[in-house]
Amino acid sequence: MILHEPYGNEDPYKHGACERYPRDPEPGDPVQVRCRDQVGATRAWVAVTTSTGTTEVAAVPLGDDLWTADIGAFPPGLVEYRFGVEGGDAGQAPGDAPSYRFEVGRRLYVTGVAQVVPLSDRVRLKLDTGAAGGTAPTAHGAYLDLSFPLAGVLRTELHLGSLHEAQGEEPAAGTRTYSHALDASLLTVTAPGMAVRLDLASLALQVSLPGSSEPAFTGSLACQWLELAGGRASQVSTRFSTTADEWLYGLGERFTRANRNGDLWDVRVYEQYKEQGKRTYLPVPFVVSNKGYGLWIDAEEPSYFDLREPQAVVRVDKYVEELAGAGDQAAPSGPALLATCIIVAPEPYQVTAAFTQLTGAIAVPPKWAFGPWMSSNSWNDQALSEAAVRRTVAEGVPASVIVIEAWSDESTFYIFNDAQYQPQPGGAAPRLADFTFAGRWPDPKAFIDYCHQHGTRVVLWQIPVLKHLDEPHAQGNADERHMLERGYAIRQADGSPYRNKGWWFTDALVIDFTNPEASAWWFDKRRYLLEELGIDGMKTDGGEHIWGRDLRAHDGRRGLQLYNAYPNLYVGAYHEFVQQATGGDGVTFSRAGYTGAQRYPSHWAGDEDSTWNAYQASVRAALSAGVCGVSMWSWDIGGFSGEVPPVELYLRSTAMAVFSPLMQYHSEGHGASEVRDRTPWNIAERHGDPRALDVYRRFAQLRMRLLDLIYDDALALSAAGLPLLRYPALAYPTAHDFLSGDPYAYLFGRDLLVAPVIDRGVEAREVRLPPGSWVDAWSGSRFEGLRTLQASAGIDRIPVFVRADSPRVNLWLAAFTEPSNGGG
């Protein structure tokens, strides 16, 4: 009779008509609840029960059978409410209605340090805590560890729990990884690459480079969180200080301006189809300052960086279960309520390098992956796909990779369209001999062999779900039964399977890659694609729709952790499978990721329109992702969606893609009546402009001449923990103010400055040269740095400059000189 969904479908950005707002109220938050009555009621109300009793709040009609009620703001405690209606077809008293509840936590603060305990590898601080309006401490106590995992890295871990007396014993002489001194209320700690000063009274924290009189990082240990019943806790936050002239970079792949300072950002994986704005497929809770420090929140849960004020606030939607024991008897154990890493270094990109040491080395794809890629959703059969390869060969346009998205039956996602076969039990693993191919894909093996004969590798599309089928499908239904019977899907709290709540593949089952048995079953069904058909990799699309705070994975992760962790679990499992099946000669190509995504190359920037704005946003996204270690990155040349791009946009974006880690064009599918492929010949034919093909060919051939140099750079920079694309302003911090004036120029590899043309109708482009001497890659002319110049930028040229002191400067310049026969 009454429909009320307190959390809706848990889309983090879109609220339903019948939700509670806010979904998780904090102390003092006004709470609104909405419902839909299904009986045509003439009056509705809400009965609200707290520890002080029950009150009735009248609901207001909104039309369309919707009602809303403002039920008030609440102090800490449990709140229960029920809806009642009368009139219409039937009445429903609150006593007969389902009840809903939420808990308002008590906000606790760290107020001081009660004890300093030096241990061999960390300094442990016993904390004093208090609540708003009083000094009542947490029942379980709290402590904080300071440790030093790498030179220049301070890790802080806030735990709930108390200290045993034995934990105050001094370690044996010479066993510590740091030195410390305690003078009244000032604790100083010296560790490799850093010096730490903590005022035990004010909790002010400063982190400096060794020998420096000025702190690189200033923050506070005055953390706060919400304490719930039974010692549970949620929503923990901390603070650090920024300055008005400071630029903060990072937070993952972001499509907006480079400087994060002065704005509010959330860190959660989300599929925003086109025009992403501040939303992203690949967030990372890590910022780097041009002042030479970085702050990483080591948490999988969604987090928020409020950088609008000089006292910046970082909050994590953490949830800690009830602690065992109570008071001083509770031993420190379990995960940290909040873990942060503060990194200081002489230069900002050294902060990035330390971050990749902490979160995983940057992996490098095989050398062939650095050639041009080709793709279109319209290539949905063997004839069209083979024709695309045949045309690129005939036109002399290099293509190292072809991605085929529309190849599978979309019932199993591991069987080619129109293949004939005898359905097998859901637990069985298919082999190539099980299929008779016909229809759209009469001979996939012949197609793959044909591609390989012409130097083109084959990548097939994947998603991590078993699609909900409206029509019977023998194999799909068998797979679903097996998946459900064995518990291979992500689950709800009650053990039932989670079905995708997102708009894409709605109601699909989502495979749980934390379950080794589930992963083995999933990949055994796809093994023949690599081991018998010989494909070279998989485009691991999707992975963003894990919505639900009560979800569970096999390894114990909860919904809040799975929001962001799932894409890495998914892509990491595919990466391991592909590398094992290809002997390390395969690739994954992914849209979503999180902290540590650089371990599973490569990634692309998701779906964008064919517009100049989208092109500019993609350049911004590449540089932002690189600050957080995501190096092997790509995007769709000229845009993925909509009408074919203008020739000028297509060629400008092609030129930029030549100097990107990976280079690919791709387009969404369309009907047979219109071809919107982003192939250079289709762009040329659609616009009647042969430059699209001729200039693209020359750029693709240039990419092939640069391939060895780019691959060498990928290996060298990855070993150093650095991305291929970098902000000049961060790489040359002494010239930050000058270089940050151009948000689109970037460093590519170890030697190149690239200034892409990002506006229409441009024949020359202003370039800001970093310090040092630079050589124009096209003309060979030499220029001194820290100056601006107007560089020629015709439709077939992108301003590129080479470091004059590079030992490879002549190799770069030679690659820019076209062979007399025009070959690659």
According to DSSP, residue 180 is labeled E
The domains located in the chain, with CATH, are 2-104 (2.60.40.10), 107-243+315-336 (2.60.40.1760), 367-463+515-543+560-705 (3.20.20.80), 717-815 (2.60.40.1180)
Please check whether residue 157 is in contact with residue 147, taking contact to mean a CB–CB distance below 8 angstroms.
yes
Confidence class of residue 321 from pLDDT cuts 50, 70 and 90? confident
Of the chain, the end-to-end C-alpha distance in Å amounts to 71
Please check whether residue 605 is in contact with residue 593, taking contact to mean a CB–CB distance below 8 angstroms.
no
User: Catalytic positions, please?
Assistant: 541, 544, 607
- 100-121 residue pLDDT tens: 999 999 999 999 999 999 999 9
Per-residue tokens: 773:
């001497």
Distance CA 649, CA 638 (A): 6
Distance CA 590, CA 460 (A): 12
Per-residue tokens: 160:
């709930």
Q: Which amino acid is residue 572, in one-letter code? A: G
Q: Which helix (H) or strand (E) holds 559?
A: helix 559-582
Please check whether residue 155 is in contact with residue 123, taking contact to mean a CB–CB distance below 8 angstroms.
no
Confidence class of residue 92 from pLDDT cuts 50, 70 and 90? low
Mean pLDDT of 749-768: 98
Residue 38 has pLDDT above 90, yes or no: no
Residue 297 has pLDDT above 50, yes or no: yes
- Vertex 228 angle, CA 227 and 232, to 5°: 85
Strand-pairing partners, residue 678, are: none
Full 3-state SS string of 319-360:
EECCCCCCHHHCCCCCCCCEEEEEEECCCHHHHHHHHHHHHC
Rg of the chain over Cα atoms, rounded to whole angstroms, equals 29
Strand-pairing partners, residue 587, are: 537
Distance CA 481, CA 426 (A): 7
Please check whether residue 18 is in contact with residue 4, taking contact to mean a CB–CB distance below 8 angstroms.
yes
Distance CA 313, CA 257 (A): 20
pLDDT of residue 822: 47
- Vertex 340 angle, CA 336 and 343, to 5°: 150
Mean pLDDT of 63-67: 94
Distance CA 807, CA 631 (A): 23
Please check whether residue 408 is in contact with residue 479, taking contact to mean a CB–CB distance below 8 angstroms.
no
381: Cβ contacts below 8 Å, ≥ 6 apart: 417, 439, 440, 441
Residue 618 has pLDDT above 70, yes or no: yes
Distance CA 719, CA 357 (A): 10
To the question of pTM greater than 0.75 for the whole model, the response is yes
Percent of the chain with pLDDT over 90: 89
Query: How far, in Å, are 111, 117, 196, 227, 338 from residue 127 at the CA level?
Result: 7, 11, 18, 15, 14
